[in-house]
Amino acid sequence: MTALSILDLVRVTEDTDARGALDNARDLAAHAETWGYQRFWVAEHHNMIGIASAATSIVIAHIAAGSKTIRVGAGGIMLPNHSPYVIAEQFGTLERLFPGRIDLGLGRAPGTDQMTLRALRRTNEASESFPQDVQELQAFLAPAGPNQRIQAVPAAGTNVPLWILGSSNFGAMLAGELGLPYAFASHFAPEMLMQALQIYRMRFKPSEQLAKPHAMVGVNIIAAETDAEAKRLATTQQMSFTNMFRGTRGLSQPPIDDIETYWSPMEKAQAMQMLRRTIVGSEATVRAGIEALVAETEADELMIVSDVFDHKARLRSYEMIAAAAKGLVSNAGNGSGQAGAFEERRYAAALTL
């Protein structure tokens, strides 16, 4: 069975401030665990006034404290922006506070623009050591060895589950070689989805964390009572993508009646290319879309983005998605599911420094 999870953008809207966005994310997670979602992730984005999850580990703590069972994590941490040692400390601390509930997804991109990258005191070359940094992070999260002089306290021995994120073949190959679960970002970069999944499964080598491949597929899904209403709600995300192409990222905007009045033909083509796997409609339409996506990809898990402006409408969208997927996906119930299976196979490697 395919599991169902959530990637929340922690959107700051024209009707909310950053605190409101953070509290809305926390409220969504509390509802999501009652609807059977397995995990709830937030992502590291910098210098974007419409996204409030830049301090990702702190946001995760806020969300986890407001829920009880759902797994909470990063989808992801952009590892080239950080020292693996510091990320181990942060996520090891989260695991101590919320045992058995923390995930750590890792990305290779900076998650920001070049000017902000300089403000982070990082360079483009930092991404070249991504595979080595992932393994170093693994080692800091593993039990400390008897001669290990540098430990990530209190992270050593927490073995926080790692995921590799990607939108190209690189992440697929790395996840397969390291025997880690893999999440493909087809919610904004769908072009290489099938090729990446094939490479991941072919290259997969069992590890102490994971015995067999576990592939997660990101997908935008917006549900409402009717197809027409869902399409109207979807204009918020369509405007967001259009603004990105214009270089005018801003706050999340309320839906409009006619998206054709907002974007040019070129902008529409660009946005729809990135959003072409989006599922929008009534519960029946969403069910058919999910069924087709799972049949095509054989995904072990769907990571759903429902980028809806109004918080109540967004809650309703996720509730309807869960109902639509009933029987097609697994109901995690207590938030463990597949994660629990590979948690039992955590590795015991140690780094000697």
Reported pTM: 0.91
If we measure between CA atoms, which residue out of 165, 327, 167, 293 comes closest to residue 221? Answer: 293
Average of per-residue pLDDT across 130-158: 96
Q: What is the pLDDT of residue 110?
A: 67
Taken in order of first residue, the domains within the chain and their CATH numbers are: 2-226+276-343 (3.20.20.30)
Of residues 249 and 282, the one with the higher pLDDT is 282
Average of per-residue pLDDT across 169-187: 97
Express each pLDDT in 197-212 by its tens digit.
999 999 999 999 999 9
pLDDT over 70 percentage in the chain: 92
If we measure between CA atoms, which residue out of 200, 181, 81, 75 comes closest to residue 133? Answer: 81
pLDDT over 90 percentage in the chain: 85
* Cβ neighbour number for residue 65 with a 10 Å cutoff: 13
If we measure between CA atoms, which residue out of 154, 135, 52, 144 comes closest to residue 94? Answer: 154
**Residue 80 — very low, low, confident or very high, per pLDDT cuts 50/70/90?**
very high
In the predicted structure, residue 268 carries a pLDDT above the cut 70: yes
Alpha carbon of residue 9 to chain centroid: 9
Average of per-residue pLDDT across 20-29: 98
**Residue 338 — very low, low, confident or very high, per pLDDT cuts 50/70/90?**
very low
